[in-house]
Structure 1
């Protein structure tokens, strides 16, 4: 099945799937992208709180 990632909810669904299958680091990265695509700061914070593993992103 081909997935389309057009909305924050698409990334959040994928993050939950990765968490459920034992891939917490990938889940966190997907959750971070979902949070970045969320306009409401409190909702973005809630998303990140759901996936507490530390970020693996590198900022340049």
Structure 2
């Protein structure tokens, strides 16, 4: 298996969907949060986060 490269938000979303489909919702949420962070459109970022529900595990600084 070749390593994955996450160069675009879409790459992260693909991985998030795969994690969700295989029963790893926490990892899916973390990947979705990173995709949302890398998205320039705030509306799209909000949509991404609404698709992958659950609490964030991020610690605010």
Question: Shorter-chain TM-score category?
Answer: over 0.9
Aligned-residue offset at 1:59:
1.4
Encode CA deviations 1:4-56: one digit per residue, 9 max, x unaligned: 11111111110000000000011000000000000111110110000011101
Higher relative contact order, chain-length normalized (CA < 8 Å, sep 6+): 1
Gaps spanning 5+ residues in structure 1: where?
A: none
**TM-score (structure 1 length as normaliser):** 0.95
Q: Provide the aligned C-alpha RMSD in A.
A: 0.7
**TM-score (structure 2 length as normaliser):** 0.93
Q: Which residue number corresponds to residue 54 of structure 1?
A: 55
